[in-house]
Amino acid sequence: MSANKRVERSIGKIVIVITGTPGTGKTSVSRRLVEEINGLHIDVSRYVIDNRIYTGYDEYRRSYIIDEEKLIEKLESIIRESNKPVVIDIHYPEILDPNMVDYIIILRTNPLELEKRLSKRKDWPLHKIKENVMAEILGVVTSNVLEHYPEEKVYEIDTTNKNIEEIVREIIAIIRGKRKSSMKKWIDWLELIGPKILDKHGEY
Ligand SMILES: Nc1ncnc2c1ncn2[C@@H]1O[C@H](COP(=O)(O)OP(=O)(O)O)[C@@H](O)[C@H]1O
Ligand SMILES: [Mg+2]
């Protein structure tokens, strides 16, 4: 039996949310993860555009305004109908029903590294890069997730200096119950790097 088959058999049909600030690696990690567990990957940003699940376009943010009700309905029906593990790659996971989700994995990236990655997005204006780097500094995704999901379903992974393979291995260890939830010890970049990180990002 291949390693893939073994993981697949032991995990069955589960729903894994891969979340994090844009640029933290959600899509790269999800793609590799579904290969490993024979899962179904929904890249929600892509899915919203491909299926026109939006009500308009926010010029300032350069992003679509999603039709939340329709999106939730679609995602819930995909989850219901799938007989494989479902990996939902999304940066606003608080729209999902927490009862439908088994694991929420938050990818975190050192804001200085994240800024380098986001600066490569040619279509992103500076204010959008800054807004997202600031969201990572402040842990906005984690705090939204913790308001919405029971803590025991939530895991953070510091992806800084890790390659995709290593991150996927960590996620599989979580699914197999080899890593417990962080339980109140969440990543705090202000504590880890110090307030000097705000110097570059304080102004808008
Ligand atoms: N662990 C990693 N190490 C180095 N580069 C990464 C890592 N994860 C993602 N990247 C790179 O960062 C960029 C953003 O990754 P992506 O998967 O698109 O993030 P997201 O889907 O969260 O916006 C891509 O260019 C990707 O190749
Ligand atoms: Mg993505």
* Closest ligand 1 atom to 28 CA: 17
Task: Indicate if the pLDDT at residue 51 is higher than 50.
Answer: yes
Express each pLDDT in 163-190 by its tens digit. Answer: 999 999 999 999 998 787 766 689 999 8
Cα 188 to averaged position of ligand 2 atoms, centre (Å): 23
- Give the ligand whose atoms come closest to the C-alpha of residue 108: 1
Question: Over the Cα atoms of the chain, what is R_g?
Answer: 17
What pairing do the DSSP bridges indicate for beta strands 15-19 and 103-108?
Answer: parallel
pLDDT, residue 200, reads: 63
pLDDT, residue 201, reads: 57
Task: Indicate if the pLDDT at residue 13 is higher than 90.
Answer: no
Query: Who has greater pLDDT, 193 or 162?
Result: 162
Rounded CA separation 180/42 (Å): 25
Distances (CA, A) of 186 to 44, 115, 127, 135, 182: 25, 21, 27, 15, 7
Instruction: Identify the H or E element spanning 17.
Output: strand 15-19
- The pick from 114, 117, 141, 161 for probing ligand 1's pocket by mutation, whose C-beta has the most ligand atoms within 8 angstroms, reads 117
For residues 46-75, give the mean pLDDT: 95
Query: Who has greater pLDDT, 47 or 184?
Result: 47
Query: Who has greater pLDDT, 185 or 50?
Result: 50
Rounded CA separation 84/188 (Å): 34
pLDDT, residue 204, reads: 42
pLDDT, residue 20, reads: 98
Nearest-5° angle of CA 23, CA 67, CA 61? 40
Task: List the one residue out of 158, 151, 152 whose CA is nearest residue 177.
Answer: 152
Q: Name every protein residue with a CB atom under 6 angstroms from any ligand 1 atom.
A: 20, 22-28, 117, 159, 162-164, 167
Q: How far is CA 184 from the centre of its chain?
A: 19
Cα 92 to averaged position of ligand 2 atoms, centre (Å): 12
Share of the chain above pLDDT 90, in %: 79
Task: Indicate if the pLDDT at residue 50 is higher than 90.
Answer: yes
Query: Who has greater pLDDT, 39 or 180?
Result: 39
- Catalogue all structural domains in the chain, each as residue range(s) with its CATH number: 3-109+149-184 (3.40.50.300)
Average pLDDT, the chain: 90
Instruction: Name the maximum alpha-carbon separation found in the chain.
Output: 55
Rounded CA separation 132/116 (Å): 12
Cα 1 to averaged position of ligand 1 atoms, centre (Å): 31
